[in-house]
Homo-oligomer: A and B are copies of this chain.
Amino acid sequence: MQKIQDIRHSFAHILALSVKELYPDARFGTGPDIENGFYYDIKTKNPVTNDDLKRIEKKMREVLKRNVSFKKKLVAKAEAKKIFKDQPFKLEILKDLEGDKVSVYETDNFIDLCKGPHVDSTEELNPDAFKLEKIAGAYFKGDEKNSMLTRIYGLAFATKKELDDYLKLKEEAEKRDHRVLGEKLGIFMFDDEVGSGLPLWLAKGTLLRNIIKDYLYRELISDGYDFVETPHIGKLSLWQTSGHWENYRENIYSPIDIEDEKFLLKPMNCPFHVKIFKHKQRSYRELPLKMAEFGTVYRFERSGTLHGLTRVRGFTQDDAHVWCREDQLKTELAKLLKQGLKILKKFGFKEYSIYLSTRPEKYVGTDQGWEKATATLEQVLKDAKLEYNIDPGGGVFYGPKIDIKVKDTLGREWQCTTIQVDFNLPDRFQMSFINDKGEKERPYMIHRALYGSLERFIGVLIEHYAGAFPFWLSPVQIKILPVSDKFNKYAREIKEELKEYRAEVAEEKETISKKIREGEMEKIPYLLIVGEKEKKAKTISVRKRGKGDLGAMKIKKFKEIINKE
């Protein structure tokens, strides 16, 4: 059986061949396989639009029926120049190729400059398992100084079922798109004049953030963590000492000059926490010393890679550092792993994959140190009887790590929890504690984030729940809907009785059916309708999200229901 990449790549050639038949003047850029499909960049006198996709698709099916083969040939460069004399982009690509000979693929009357591999013939391509998807503009070689080409995207799979499944998943994912829901539910917004990748949190989003932060805050305070708060800028030299400047600079923003010194918008919190550790001489009695912060960090991402809340330029980590003695390391790591899994479960993620990431290409520290730390992490996973994958070279420059990726309702994986062993920063910052023999000793350092980034975590939560958050997590848990103005006062009394919950009264001058519709659109767990009947009987009529009418009841009864949530 053919590799799916070869199938997709071959579809790209069939696309080009079909475009050539429909648009004889077409000039071709490149056409690779990509995730779920393929694309081809082309230039035609009459630009191809989305309206033309059906026609091109039809032509492709026609071509597939012809039973065409993919023939590879090695030709001299001079020969290739002749073949592609009418294809300026191909000639351009040809210039960059090394060696005397290049490979070309011939498919019917279309010949392409291409390394391959491909399927042998169109018999291996299922005409029901592909679909042209959309059109976009793309600069040749991705450089805006070059011509703008039209990129035609296609989806392609081995079987029709796979294509159908993918389309269904995509449709479902679009319905859950956190960028759309986040705006609709009043959670966050972006604004071009503020800047790309910089979310502004609206009232309900800020509430949601606070609920999520509060939950972890309480967990960590009762677990003996110290919460700290550190600045958003600091001297560049801090990150030179930590090694981030050398190993991570491409993600750090340009320095700010203050009185002839360079300051960075903080790309990570660690050096500040180290400074707090170091501000007094620590004793072994203080270890494990656990320090946490909801620390907002800023990291450069190209504007093309930004995506809603899941890839931003500034985000808040639920960051923490644990310093401990060598003999405490395994126990502390095991606790952190357990805590991470507990928290993900609390937020409704039942499935996850665990990755153990080993030494990357750019790293600091000794091989021995790396081996020992990696072995400790692996032992912790084994002791907990957890399945895990190895991610070779996926570690941070200062040490190996365990990552937990959660699976959302649609089965997509999202990086959340990370637990990283670091035996390098303590060295670089010359950290020490006085051990039980009265001598100075270097502590071990663990970096960990459970949610990861609050922004991404909330983005994932929105999609996971399609905006219908569980009761405890809903920014507004209860909305009280007076049937008319006359019952606003009674509605406010009900709100007062429910003051330990997040309840709102809908006092707008709207019909009750519009109020119900709006409450449902806002995905509020409980809507309480109050009118003449309810006021008289001192009851409320309860509608539960996804369940509908629960009937009229006393507040006490309603509280019993929601206390079970």
Contact = CB atoms under 8 A, between A and B. Distances in A.
Interface of A: 189, 191, 193-195, 198-203, 205-207, 209-210, 226-235, 237-238, 253-254, 256-259, 261, 263, 265, 272, 275-276, 279, 285, 296, 298, 300, 302-303, 313-314, 508
A298 B227 contact: no
A202 B228 contact: yes
A109 to B, nearest CB: 43
Interface-central residue, A199, A258, A298, A302, by most chain B CB under 10 Å: A258
9 pairs of A and B residues whose beta carbons are closest in the complex: A203-B226, A201-B229, A198-B231, A206-B227, A194-B234, A191-B275, A206-B229, A189-B279, A195-B235
A253 B256 contact: yes
Nearest to A234: B194
Contacts of A205: 229
Contacts of A209: 229
Contact of A314 (B191, B198, B231): B231
B300 A230 contact: no
5 contacts: A191-B279, A194-B234, A195-B258, A232-B314, A265-B265
Given A201-B230, A265-B265, A194 B258 contact: no
Contacts of A198: 231, 233-234
B189 A233 contact: no
Contact of A263 (B195, B229, B263, B303): B195
A202 B276 contact: yes
Contacts of A201: 228-230
Contacts of A296: 232
Contacts of A230: 200-201
A400 to B, nearest CB: 28
Nearest to A191: B275
Contacts of A313: 258
A120 B313 CA distance: 67
B229 A272 contact: no
A257 B259 contact: no
A254 B264 CA distance: 12
Given A229-B206, A300-B258, A235 B279 contact: no
A256 B256 contact: yes
A160 B205 CA distance: 61
A265 to B, nearest CB: 7
Interface-central residue, A209, A227, A302, A313, by most chain B CB under 10 Å: A227
Given A199-B231, A201-B229, A272 B194 contact: yes
A200 B228 contact: yes
A253 B256 CA distance: 7
Given A189-B276, A195-B235, A201-B229, 6 more contacts: A193-B238, A194-B275, A203-B227, A206-B228, A206-B229, A231-B314
A256 B261 contact: no
A278 to B, nearest CB: 9
Given A233-B265, A233-B298, A272 B200 contact: yes
B256 A257 contact: no
A60 B321 CA distance: 59
A64 to B, nearest CB: 42
Contacts of A210: 227
Contact of A195 (B200, B202, B234, B298): B234
Contacts of A235: 193-195
B232 A232 contact: yes
A510 to B, nearest CB: 11
B254 A265 contact: no
A227 B207 contact: yes
Contacts of A228: 200-203, 206
Nearest to A278: B191
A203 to B, nearest CB: 4
Nearest to A237: B193
A203 B234 CA distance: 20
